Amino acid sequence: MSATRSLQFDVRDVGLAGQGKQRIDWAEREMPVLRLIRERFAVEKPLNGIKLLACAHITTETANLARALQAGGAEAVLIASNPLSTQDDVAASLVSDWGIPVYAIKGESTETYNRHLRTALDYRPDIVIDDGSDVVATLIKERAAQVKELIGSTEETTTGIQRLEAMQAAGVLSFPSIAVNNAQTKHFFDNRYGTGQSTLDGIIRATNILLAGRNFVVAGYGWCGKGVALRARGMGANVIVTEIDPIKAVEAVMDGFRVMPIAEAAALGDIFVTVTGNRHVIDGLHFERMKDSAIVCNSGHFDLELNLVALREMSHPPLNIRPFVEEYKIKASGRRIIVLGEGRLINLAAAEGHPASVMDMSFANQALSVEYLVKHKGELEPGVHVLPREVDTEIASLKLRALGLSIDTLTAEQVEYISRWETGT
Ligand SMILES: NC(=O)c1ccc[n+]([C@@H]2O[C@H](COP(=O)([O-])OP(=O)(O)OC[C@H]3O[C@@H](n4cnc5c(N)ncnc54)[C@H](O)[C@@H]3O)[C@@H](O)[C@H]2O)c1
């Protein structure tokens, strides 16, 4: 516990560190790419003297990212990117075993979340790792002078990148930000297979329901939606997809799913999951049409995909049935709507988020993005950037090697063929 002596932090109970450390080590076994980066960082110290604020889900995988950044020489402070996703034992271990200041408590109020964010900003970071762009938005809105101290930021998720692009369009993004989510080794795997599996894990842990034979509605057929739909079908559910993008809708049809507007799906669904990054995708008029005991949850970044304000207004006060399960009885019809995880990301609220094996690649991208920002300090234009393609390819190559797999390489004849235009029919 010596590491905690002079450290400022706000976690539930430092006494939980033992269990947290064991779980962090367990996740590390599934994160070989991040381990290789950590080992290189420990030798090269590319982040020496860098103050870093990481706003992330405080999970075992994030702890391993923090270890890698610390090995690289960074002084990191961590805050939760969501009030319900913190693993209190992990937060305790980071403080106690690694001496990293953490401000995160599972179930913290919005006021505490905001206080933690501002306390962490008082560390005056050189680099921000953001998840949803709350830190960057707060900096821009409230601390214009401090923005000038920033080397840059990285952004983990789709919703955060949408917000950064809006900031760029509004002319207020005055530093470079790396869109980690846009790396192929991030969204192909994390958003699709990570969200696909862990969303079902969250629903099942919260309810213990059988998915086989149920009508399972997925709102949004982007990277996350594709994963959720694929895995729900694998569990025997009848999947219905709702979309607003005609191309994604055709894709869902050709992948073998029923596609219809949410107003129609509302009456058919037994279970609903939103993964759109959009607001009020399930609204009051949809709740009205749902069957008795329909289960509704969200796996998109913010808790506004379900219009719970409307649901509260049309219902009696909710009953807490079991952890992460609330029942709303609609006054007009007497029908019950079951809301999971208060409409927050269900995979992190009721389960443990993505498995470490996919976070390995997402967080390899985070670590390399931070290194890239430091290496190119002062050289990058303000705005949203993606990591060079070679970095993506390198991460995938390391992952393949870790999986014990090898692939073919182009022969000299093939290199020659694909670089020329003369040969045809
Ligand atoms: N739960 C997690 O752990 C996790 C992981 C990664 C991303 N996310 C979040 O999940 C959300 C989706 O991410 P993504 O990478 O799949 O994004 P994406 O852009 O690939 O997909 C979103 C899809 O939703 C559709 N959509 C938008 N509004 C809609 C509406 N009203 N009805 C139906 N469909 C609508 C869009 O057309 C798009 O196809 C984001 O908020 C992202 O930040 C969550």
CA distance 58 to 341: 17
How far does residue 158's CA lie from ligand 1's centre (Å)? 7
Buried b (16+ CB within 10 A) or exposed e, 266-291: bebbbbbbbbbbbeebbbeebbbbbe
How far does residue 75's CA lie from ligand 1's centre (Å)? 33
What pLDDT digit, counting tens, does each position of 361-418 carry?
999 999 999 999 999 999 999 999 999 999 999 999 999 999 999 999 999 999 999 9
Banded pLDDT at 425 (limits 50, 70, 90): confident
How far does residue 329's CA lie from ligand 1's centre (Å)? 28
| Measured distance between the N- and C-terminal CA atoms of the chain, rounded to whole angstroms | 72
Mean pLDDT score, 156-181: 97
What pLDDT digit, counting tens, does each position of 58-70 carry?
999 999 999 999 9
Establish whether residue 220 lines the binding site of ligand 1, counting it when its CB lies within 6 angstroms of any ligand atom. Answer: yes
Indicate the SS3 state at residue 173.
coil
CA distance 32 to 15: 29
Please give the model's pTM, rounded to 2 decimal places: 0.94
Establish whether residue 318 lines the binding site of ligand 1, counting it when its CB lies within 6 angstroms of any ligand atom. Answer: no
Banded pLDDT at 4 (limits 50, 70, 90): low
The number of beta carbons lying within 10 Å of the beta carbon of residue 36 is: 15
Residue nearest to atom 5 of ligand 1 (CA): 191
Establish whether residue 365 lines the binding site of ligand 1, counting it when its CB lies within 6 angstroms of any ligand atom. Answer: no
Establish whether residue 225 lines the binding site of ligand 1, counting it when its CB lies within 6 angstroms of any ligand atom. Answer: yes
Please check whether residue 190 is in contact with residue 245, taking contact to mean a CB–CB distance below 8 angstroms: no
Q: Which atom of ligand 1 is nearest to the CA of 221?
A: 39
Establish whether residue 159 lines the binding site of ligand 1, counting it when its CB lies within 6 angstroms of any ligand atom. Answer: yes
What pLDDT digit, counting tens, does each position of 200-246 carry?
999 999 999 999 999 999 999 999 999 999 999 999 999 999 999 99
Residue nearest to atom 21 of ligand 1 (CA): 222
How far does residue 300's CA lie from ligand 1's centre (Å)? 6
Banded pLDDT at 423 (limits 50, 70, 90): confident
Residue nearest to atom 31 of ligand 1 (CA): 281
Please check whether residue 77 is in contact with residue 41, taking contact to mean a CB–CB distance below 8 angstroms: no
The number of beta carbons lying within 10 Å of the beta carbon of residue 365 is: 30
